Chains A and B, each alone.
Chain A
Amino acid sequence: EAQVTQNPRYLITVTGKKLTVTCSQNMNHEYMSWYRQDPGLGLRQIYYSMNVEVTDKGDVPEGYKVSRKEKRNFPLILESPSPNQTSLYFCASSWTGADEQYFGPGTRLTVT
């Protein structure tokens, strides 16, 4: 089954404690992306990647890092999380970015 998986689904952490949210897709897609979703603000793109070792900033990249060492994986790293990063995070993948993106189930992160 074609899917995008994210882990963990829920995470509560404290300010400053480094964390990683994993994302994996099994469709051999070139394009992967991270979004955050906040009430009233819709989905905002954090980072995206067009291929292995090729990444670029989205609209809200501050406080986040990504890496794309393998085609199927695109982890999101918060080196020093802060409460304003409390949000619902989605990973997505597609062939080009200008086509149907498949979204993961989401990761709800709370930073206290």
Chain B
Amino acid sequence: GESVGLHLPTLSVQEGDNSIINCAYSNSASDYFIWYKQESGKGPQFIIDIRSNMDKRQGQRVTVLLNKTVKHLSLQIAATQPGDSAVYFCASSRASMNTGFQKLVFGTGTRLLVSP
């Protein structure tokens, strides 16, 4: 079946370092990718997204890279801060073969720990 997986369940970094969280997806028909941040006790919050016609997109302190050849997605966080500590999920979306509606498939999440 279709899957989205993250490479590391936990990533520990020092404050000020750059963080890179990786994700792999299995379905080459996926055409939209998104990263979410989930803090303890809260619902996921949108960070950044990218469509399959792009290979890089930048936001504030975050960059998403998409490599469709190897079906790999990464999230880079510059100058990581303690407030970045959370679980990060990647997700890929594609149209359902039955209905044409969009379905999101989430990865299992990487916990980012930022120490001062």
Q: Which residues of A contact B (CB under 8 A)?
A: 4, 31, 33, 35, 40-45, 48, 50, 54, 56, 58-59, 90, 92, 96-106
In the assembled complex, the Cα of A66 lies from the Cα of B104 at a distance in Å of 18
Interface secondary structure of B, over-half rule: strand
In the assembled complex, the Cα of A99 lies from the Cα of B50 at a distance in Å of 9
In residues 64-97 of chain B, which contact A (Cβ within 8 Å)?
Answer: 89, 91, 93, 96
- In the complex, the chain A residue whose C-beta lies closest to that of B32 is A98
Minimum C-beta distance from A9 to chain B (A): 10
In the assembled complex, the Cα of A58 lies from the Cα of B36 at a distance in Å of 19
In the assembled complex, the Cα of A40 lies from the Cα of B111 at a distance in Å of 11
Minimum C-beta distance from B83 to chain A (A): 19
In the assembled complex, the Cα of A4 lies from the Cα of B46 at a distance in Å of 14
